[in-house]
Amino acid sequence: MKLTAYCGALFLLGCLSVQAQVQDEQINQSLSLREQWIHLTRDLMFEPEWAAEGHQFHYKLSVEGGFQFFRDSVQKAKPELAFDHQRISRALNQATGQSFSALQLPFDRFSYSENDQSIEFYYDSKNWSCQLDGTLCKAMERQGQPKAFGVVRDLRIEAYNPLRSSPDGAYTAQIVAHNLVIKHKDGRIQYQSKDGSAVDFYDAQSIQWAPDSSALLVMKVKPGTARMVTRVLSSPLDQLEPKTLTQLYPKPGDAVDIDQPVLVQLDAGKAQRIDNQLFSQPYTLDQVQWQADSQSFTFRYTERGHQLVRVIEVDAKTAQPKALLTERSQSFIDQWGAFYQTLSGPEKGFVWLSERDGWAHLYRYDNKGQLINQITQGNWRVRDVMHLDEKTQQLWFAASGMEPEQDPYFIHYYRINFDGTGLTALTTANATHQVSFSADRQYYIDLYSRVDLPNVAELRRSSDGQLIRTLAKADISRLTQAGFKAPEVFVAKGRDGKTDIWGLIVKPQQFKPEQKYPVIENIYAGPHDSFVPKSFWPFGFHSGGDKVIGMQALADLGFVVVQIDGMGTKNRSKAFHDVAWKNLADSGFPDRILWHKAAAKQFPWYNMAAGVGIYGASAGGQSTVAALLFHPEVYTTGVAYAGCYDNRMDKISWNEQWMGYPVGPHYAASSVTEHAELLQGNLLLINGEQDSNVDPASTMQLVNALIKADKDFDLLLVPGGEHAVGRSVGPIRYVQRRQFDFFQRHLKQQSSDSNKSQL
């Protein structure tokens, strides 16, 4: 009996060892999927760029072995290489110490500069310039004093402070020892302030001359809270001992810079502080602009709390301010999607975007702040404004939800008259569109796709939308032969029983409908956008895990992976969006759970018996933990990356926009750290040691709370890792392997056990 038991144990260990090897091979194959598939498309165009003048354009295109950039024009119709890719590759490799091949350059867009002798692009959080002869690539230094999250100047960095010449050339202005000095061209001092100091200084970057040189506007600044986040770099590359790094990082409730407009009238030789009664509690003052006749200047005022915004005009003679427009909201005014533009024509006035009727629409006002008319209207939303043409009195814009038979998130482009008449669709195909116009707007390129429709790029004439020629039509035959299948779109009703909730389902390549598959949700519920992919490109841009390819790699391990846009996310109605107001813990879960249940009811293979897995990063990390805390009856296994687990610990800009000001009990109510004792299920926390987007202490505070609550969890800290650790930079393969293995060991095993118990 003992020998039999011993042999049985050895046999079991052997089986477990073989099973582990098989799982490791499956994970390694999934981790390699992006590299295996990414170069299998042909003629797939990315967003084109038009020249600043004329009718030339360039674009990135998939070719044999990778990607190349091409240059073309409306007249020539003969694409040629945009530059020598080998030269750029060698120069960039030398500058970065990386190894990029000529067909795998690490950027998707560029612009020509220096009379087409150089190109400029964005890579690794920096702007780069490369000379086309290949002699030099360099990161471009930023001029000026940066503002941390747009609200607190970093006073450790010297402000950009050149001489500012008046339009007529008669005067120059500059900041000297915190004070404003205006000199005549003959050297005489025309005006000099004496009240500037380190804690109440004149800002060099804000100086604006009136067009007729009669006056000057400058901001006098009282600095906000200089909150510094200190991080320890445990494993620096240049020394054995760790280093400390500091970052200016204002958080919700911190004091922001107070900008006080000051008007200097040259003839009178005096300065006047503008009465701030109309803008006494600023979050920001921006879009400062002189009128063309120099009679006044305007600016936009956003009050702290994001529930009141004003357009304010200041008379240049009397220095008296008045509110041309006041917008209020019981929830938030979405400044991440705002639009405001002054008109310089005879009627002057401005165009304003508002959600006052429940949808994001455009309104036209005269120069006295009186509403002339609503330009756009209906149960759909304006997504972006491309151009205002005052000569033709026309406006060009992007919108979604106008086409009743299409996905309400699909973006289409339109033209409309200022008076709201003449609405003309520039795009019609049942897809999401990305339109770019030539500098004179005579032509446009319409790049459209769906998750199941590869990119099509068409050159069209703006006057009548006439197709001139098809520039590119993607061929994915090789990708399809390799096993790619488009995600399945699924729609279910939300918490109100009426609103459609849209999502995607990704199945394993070897999907068998008679089998049951555990479900994993890829979540991001941030209110600043919607996130379910609508366009074809499944790989993301130089990213490993967030797009369809990351979900496919995970699905191939034997899961069904889904992504859903619940209420609280953007790009639908104002009411849909408002669900997030002061309640980020909601994360749309009531809608998501109903969506899961509807899918399980419709598809026999959609197996929720062992609960749903969930993973996400940043706000998605916060939502992942919230799922396990607040909805453990549905969500049982989660992997959370770089989460902002308590909104009081995160950046001021994102959190005050959606959680409001002042900081109150609702912040604690949405905090998963405050509710750590509710944790059920399996949780893996992953964080980068050098996260500059979300204070990494937020993760460690959650860890502390979980330990105090005697809760078991897994933790992976990546030395030197940034906010996107495991997704776009750093040890991607290792981190993703840990995520995949976690779901294999917990959710898949639970699902297997659940299936056995039902037999």
- How far apart, in whole angstroms, are the C-alpha atoms of residue 532 and residue 525? 10
Where is average pLDDT lowest: 209-213, 309-313, 700-704, 730-734? Answer: 730-734
Mean per-residue pLDDT, 175-190? 97
- How far apart, in whole angstroms, are the C-alpha atoms of residue 305 and residue 330? 11
- How far apart, in whole angstroms, are the C-alpha atoms of residue 617 and residue 643? 6
Residue 544 has a pLDDT of: 40
Q: How many CB atoms lie within 10 A of CB 344?
A: 14
Kindly give the pairing relationship between strand 243-248 and strand 258-265. unpaired
* pLDDT tens per residue across span 360-386: 999 999 999 999 999 999 999 999 999
Mean per-residue pLDDT, 559-577? 98
- Of the candidates 463, 469, 468, 433, which has an alpha carbon nearest to the alpha carbon of residue 448? 433
pLDDT at 756 over 70: no
Residue 542 has a pLDDT of: 42
- How far apart, in whole angstroms, are the C-alpha atoms of residue 477 and residue 484? 9
Mean pLDDT for the chain overall:
94
Residue 345 has a pLDDT of: 72
Tokens of 358: 């429940």
Helix (H) or strand (E) holding 697: helix 697-708
Q: What are phi and psi of 36, to 5 degrees?
A: -75, -30
Bridge partners (DSSP) listed for residue 641: 617, 686
**Farthest-apart Cα atoms in the chain, separation:** 109
- How far apart, in whole angstroms, are the C-alpha atoms of residue 33 and residue 403? 36
Asked if 398 contacts 354 with a C-beta cutoff of 8 angstroms, the reply is: no
- Of the candidates 414, 453, 416, which has an alpha carbon nearest to the alpha carbon of residue 432? 453
Q: How many CB atoms lie within 10 A of CB 558?
A: 20
177, with CB counted inside 10 A (0-12, 13-18, 19+), is exposed
Mean per-residue pLDDT, 543-567? 88
pLDDT at 754 over 50: yes
Considering the chain, what percentage of its residues have pLDDT values greater than 90?
Answer: 90
* pLDDT tens per residue across span 123-154: 988 999 999 999 999 999 887 889 999 999 99
Q: What is the pTM of this model?
A: 0.95
Bridge partners (DSSP) listed for residue 504: 489, 563
Q: How confident is the model at residue 68 (pLDDT cuts 50, 70, 90)?
A: very high
Residue 726 has a pLDDT of: 67
384, with CB counted inside 10 A (0-12, 13-18, 19+), is middle
Q: What is the DSSP string of 162-228?
A: --EE-TTSSEEEEEETTEEEEEETTS-EEEE----BTTBEE-GGG-EE-TTSSEEEEEEEE-----E
- Of the candidates 715, 710, 712, which has an alpha carbon nearest to the alpha carbon of residue 700? 715
pLDDT at 758 over 70: no
* pLDDT tens per residue across span 476-515: 999 999 999 999 999 999 999 999 999 999 999 999 999 9
- How far apart, in whole angstroms, are the C-alpha atoms of residue 89 and residue 85? 6
Q: How many CB atoms lie within 10 A of CB 600?
A: 16
* pLDDT tens per residue across span 270-297: 999 999 999 999 999 999 999 999 999 9
611, with CB counted inside 10 A (0-12, 13-18, 19+), is buried
Kindly give the pairing relationship between strand 80-81 and strand 66-73. antiparallel
* pLDDT tens per residue across span 697-720: 999 999 999 999 999 999 999 999
**Most confident stretch, 137-141, 242-246, 546-550:** 242-246
Kindly give the pairing relationship between strand 500-506 and strand 488-493. antiparallel
- Of the candidates 651, 667, 727, 720, which has an alpha carbon nearest to the alpha carbon of residue 247? 651
Asked if 278 contacts 258 with a C-beta cutoff of 8 angstroms, the reply is: no
594, with CB counted inside 10 A (0-12, 13-18, 19+), is middle
Mean per-residue pLDDT, 664-679? 98
Q: Write down how long the chain is.
A: 759
Residue 459 has a pLDDT of: 98
* pLDDT tens per residue across span 630-661: 999 999 999 999 999 999 999 999 999 999 99
Q: What is the DSSP string of 357-405?
A: TSS-EEEEE-TTS-EEEE---SSSEEEEEEEEETTTTEEEEEEES-STT
Residue 759 has a pLDDT of: 47
Q: In this structure, is the dihedral angle defined by the CA atoms of residues 304, 306, 309 and 314, taken in order, positive or negative?
A: positive
- How far apart, in whole angstroms, are the C-alpha atoms of residue 408 and residue 572? 8
Residue 401 has a pLDDT of: 98
Q: What is the DSSP string of 488-528?
A: EEEEEE-TTSSSEEEEEEE--TT--TTS-EEEEEE----TT
Own/partner pairs, 337-344, CB within 8 angstroms, 24+ separation? 337/570, 338/309, 339/382, 339/384, 339/385, 340/287, 340/300, 340/311, 341/385, 341/388, 342/289, 342/291, 342/298, 343/388, 343/390, 344/291, 344/292, 344/390
* pLDDT tens per residue across span 440-471: 999 999 999 999 999 999 999 999 999 999 99
Asked if 553 contacts 581 with a C-beta cutoff of 8 angstroms, the reply is: no
Q: How confident is the model at residue 753 (pLDDT cuts 50, 70, 90)?
A: low
- How far apart, in whole angstroms, are the C-alpha atoms of residue 178 and residue 187? 20
Prior bond to 662 cis, omega within 30?
yes
Asked if 714 contacts 735 with a C-beta cutoff of 8 angstroms, the reply is: no
- How far apart, in whole angstroms, are the C-alpha atoms of residue 655 and residue 150? 13
Mean per-residue pLDDT, 345-365? 93
- Of the candidates 522, 582, 575, which has an alpha carbon nearest to the alpha carbon of residue 549? 522
- How far apart, in whole angstroms, are the C-alpha atoms of residue 460 and residue 479? 29
Say which residue the tokens 């900008």 belong to.
259
Mean per-residue pLDDT, 584-608? 98
Give the 3-state secondary structure of 558-586.
CCEEEEEECECECCCCHHHHHCCCCCCCC
Report in angstroms the alpha-carbon separations of 187 from 184, 196, 263.
5, 22, 22
Tokens of 259: 């900008």
- Of the candidates 652, 735, 738, which has an alpha carbon nearest to the alpha carbon of residue 695? 652
- How far apart, in whole angstroms, are the C-alpha atoms of residue 382 and residue 401? 9
160, with CB counted inside 10 A (0-12, 13-18, 19+), is exposed
Q: What is the DSSP string of 251-312?
A: -TTPPPPEEEEEEEETTTTEEEEPP-GGGSSEEEEEEEEE-TTSSEEEEEEEETTSSEEEEE
Determine what percent of the chain falls in helix, strand and coil, rounding each to the nearest 5. Answer: 20, 35, 45
- How far apart, in whole angstroms, are the C-alpha atoms of residue 325 and residue 301? 10
The one-letter amino acid at 126: K
Say which residue the tokens 């510094």 belong to.
228
Q: How many CB atoms lie within 10 A of CB 146?
A: 13
pLDDT at 396 over 80: yes
Residue 749 has a pLDDT of: 76
Three-state secondary-structure class, residue 19: helix
Q: How many CB atoms lie within 10 A of CB 582?
A: 19
- How far apart, in whole angstroms, are the C-alpha atoms of residue 492 and residue 481? 31
Residue 755 has a pLDDT of: 61
